[in-house]
């Protein structure tokens, strides 16, 4: 092995070993992850609490899932005319040592085009995508249409 190749290998090894703690996904702990299943072809909502234990801000840019062909990051808002509607969210910042909740009245994942019908009390795997290209797989508990965020 040449010296250059050895150096390359060492550098690469250091990069890999450091990455687990340096990525945005590595700073995030997800809890209370659940999906509200709605009847028929109605979109399901995905909710989760995200805590950032790191000293740097983290930015959630979306999510993807094998179970749902379409996963969108949305925010429910009440506009100036008093109408409730949803807007697309491209960047959701989770501040250093802070947390952000995706919950029924606010930010949520909009889940559509299920490849197979999720079952109540089962879990669906959804991977959260962060701005630095890192990913966090999270198991979401499937709950019925009348479920609320409190239980
Ligand atoms: Cu939505």
* Residue 56: domain span: 24-143
Ligand 1 geometric centre to CA of 122 (Å): 22
Task: Read off the CATH number of the domain in which 31 is found.
Answer: 2.60.40.1890
Ligand 1 geometric centre to CA of 93 (Å): 18
The string of pLDDT tens digits covering residues 48-72 is 999 999 999 999 999 999 999 999 9
Is the pLDDT assigned to residue 127 strictly greater than 60? yes
Is residue 14 included in any domain, yes or no? Answer: no
* Number of domains, the chain: 1
The string of pLDDT tens digits covering residues 69-80 is 999 999 999 989
Residue 24's closest CA among 125, 128, 109? 128
Is residue 73 included in any domain, yes or no? Answer: yes
Is the pLDDT assigned to residue 18 strictly greater than 50? no
Is the pLDDT assigned to residue 148 strictly greater than 60? yes
Ligand 1 geometric centre to CA of 20 (Å): 31
Ligand 1 geometric centre to CA of 83 (Å): 14
Residue 49's closest CA among 67, 63, 28, 64? 28
Residue 147's closest CA among 32, 35, 68, 40? 35
Ligand 1 geometric centre to CA of 72 (Å): 7
């Amino acid at each position: 092995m040449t010296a250059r190749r050895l150096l390359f290998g060492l550098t690469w090894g250091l990069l890999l070993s450091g990455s687990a703690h340096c990525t945005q996904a590595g700073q995030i702990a997800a809890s209370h992850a659940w999906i509200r299943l709605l009847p028929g072809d109605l979109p399901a909502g995905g909710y989760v609490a995200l805590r950032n234990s790191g000293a740097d801000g983290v930015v959630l840019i979306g999510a993807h899932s094998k179970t749902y062909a379409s996963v969108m990051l949305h925010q429910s808002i009440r506009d100036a005319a008093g109408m409730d509607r949803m807007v697309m969210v491209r960047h959701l910042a989770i501040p250093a040592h802070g947390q952000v909740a995706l919950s029924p009245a606010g930010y949520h994942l909009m889940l559509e085009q299920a490849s197979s019908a999720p079952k109540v009390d089962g879990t669906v795997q959804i991977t959260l995508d962060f701005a630095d290209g890192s990913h966090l797989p999270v198991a979401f508990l499937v709950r019925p249409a009348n479920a609320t965020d409190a239980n």
